[in-house]
Chain A
Amino acid sequence: MPEVKRYPNRLGIKGWLVGGKWGPERYLYFLHRVTGLGLLLYLLMHIVVVSSRAFGQEQWEWAMGRVSGPVFLVGEFLVFVAFVFHALNGVRLVLVELGILTGKAEDPVFPYRSSVNVQRPFMIVMMILAAILIVLGGYDFFVLVAH
């Protein structure tokens, strides 16, 4: 394999948020990353917590008792919010990265066409959908289902 030159990642973690003058998608990148890491952390703990159900009702109810109360309630809702955002933004990313929302490459003949005109409205639709689902989930969680 040829030697690959390694460049320093000069912006480091700070560059996740402050990278320069970019459009709204740049901030979605940051949110996608944070929600992805949050969901991962949750999944690692979740696997251990819900394994208690394999040992019977008493163990399950004991484990659920350990993760109840207002802090966990809000935390669990945040997991739901992270899921909704990450999922819908993830669908957008898959469609963009596979080239479906960007169109085929073509000669730059004036007037230039920009894929932003397709991508951006789609992004806005996905985010509106996310907002609706988050409100519905919040209503379910805090109003309809007593925890």
Chain B
Amino acid sequence: MSMKDTKLWTWHMASGVIILVLLGIHMLAMHMSGVMPLERLNPAGDNPLDWANVVARGREVSQVAGYIFLVGFGLFHGLYGLKNILFELNPAPGLKKLISVVLLLLGLGLFVFGAWSAVAARTMALSVSG
């Protein structure tokens, strides 16, 4: 295990804790809106998937920022976990390299797209009336 592996492992643990907070809030909004209705997360009634609720959240800077962090840490945590699982099966060195590169590109690509869509959704939310 190299220094780099130790650092990445620490980030894997840390990202787990960060996701716990961000995804915890997300799940409160999406799956607890009836049991525990929170005005701030679902201002337009208890169906969290209603367009009005999506727009209301999109107008909140904290929601948008939270999503960008969740996309980033979620992708890192999940893909790094997947990489560890694949490496445990002992692929040949060449295949290891390929796995690392593919997962890294997938993560970076989806992060850019996800972060863009969070910002674009906010622009959209601010442009609709009501």
Question: A39, A50, A140: which contacts B32 (Cβ < 8 A)?
Answer: A140
Residues on the B chain within 8 Å of A141, using CB: 31
A to B CB contacts below 8 Å, 25 in the list? A6-B90, A36-B78, A37-B82, A40-B81, A43-B74, A43-B75, A44-B110, A47-B71, A51-B117, A53-B121, A54-B120, A54-B124, A56-B128, A57-B51, A57-B128, A90-B20, A94-B17, A97-B13, A136-B32, A136-B35, A137-B31, A137-B32, A141-B31, A145-B34, A145-B48
Give A96 to B63 CA distance when docked, in angstroms: 32
Q: How far is the CB of B12 from chain A (nearest CB, A)?
A: 10
A interface secondary structure, majority: helix
B16 CB within 8 Å of chain A: yes
Q: Which residue of A lies closest to B92 (CB)?
A: A6
Pairwise interchain contact A90-B78, C-beta atoms closer than 8 A:
no
CB within 8 Å of A: which residues of B? 2, 13, 16-17, 20, 23-24, 27, 31-35, 46-49, 51, 54, 58, 71, 74-75, 78-79, 81-82, 85, 88-90, 110, 113-114, 117, 120-121, 123-124, 128
Pairwise interchain contact B20-A91, C-beta atoms closer than 8 A:
yes
